Structure 1
């Protein structure tokens, strides 16, 4: 009887810790649909995770086909070590950290643009509702860059099947 009570208490504690983890998880983590800022077309589904070193990284989990075409499958224009590697599973965001001075701002990142093969410095900002991520890639100064707006995806599989 005493062992059953201890098991129940342990189970309740584990469930409670899981709930706290979800409450305090960064709104940046999760699945995002990247959208081409020039055409408005969906490009990829990206999973953003907080990595062991405390930075955020983004990995391609799905690549959409271009309108009237096929999906880009390998990073043909990318520099080493990405050259000709499969895009699925590839890390295209790295090194992002939360800006200690501004809530929901992320700085000091790198962004790999799979289509051009270029690597940009990056920063981003979440909207107050956490549903959109304004990702800015630039060279040198932020003014010389582009911004894409990514949309948070609750169910990546449903998004892929659209």
Structure 2
């Protein structure tokens, strides 16, 4: 009986710990305004991974009102994709106060970078890099 009670309480503690980690990991969810204030990205969760799509942009439309497309993409097959709802953050996982292991795509240049994200106060620090994190650039996003 003591073993059963100990097992039961261990399971409750473990479940509570996992829920607390998920709540911490999910604080990244929502809409973010990029540093230049010309784009809004909605970060969402699919399964246990985090993604982000471009939901608004200052230059998302041509002068005639038609949607701009991903013309800078190095893959010619993808150049016809609309910028509206373009997924630019892919496959991030949460570990130790950081979202890591994902990629960030820059539709302005057509380049994709490895990326790590973490909070700095209420802002989101986004570091894109090639190779190692020290060889990269950091930008700050705010809730939008």
Name the TM tier (shorter chain).
Answer: 0.7 to 0.9
Shift >4 Å, 4+ stretches: none
* Native 8 Å contact 1:77 1:84 kept in 2: no
Return the alpha-carbon distance in structure 1 between the equivalents of residues 109 and 101 of structure 2.
21
On the 8 A contact 1:78/1:84 being kept in 2, the answer is no
Write out aligned runs for 1:6-155 (5 A): 24=23, 26-35=26-35, 41-52=36-47, 54-65=48-59, 73-80=68-75, 82-99=78-95, 102-103=96-97, 105-128=98-121, 131-153=122-144
In structure 1, the gaps of 5 or more residues are 1-19, 36-40, 154-162
Q: Distance in 1 between matches of 2:33 and 2:27?
A: 15
Distance in 2 (CA, whole Å) between partners of 1:82 and 1:43 is 22
Unaligned runs of 5+ residues in structure 2 are 1-18
How far has the Cα of 1:111 moved from its partner? 0.4
Normalised by the length of structure 2, the TM-score is 0.73
Query: Which one has a larger percent strand, Structure 1 or Structure 2?
Result: 2
Rounded to whole Å, the distance in 2 between the matches of 1:144 and 1:32 is 24
**Structure 1-normalised TM-score?**
0.65
Aligned residues: 118
Cα deviation for residue 82 of structure 1 reads 3.2
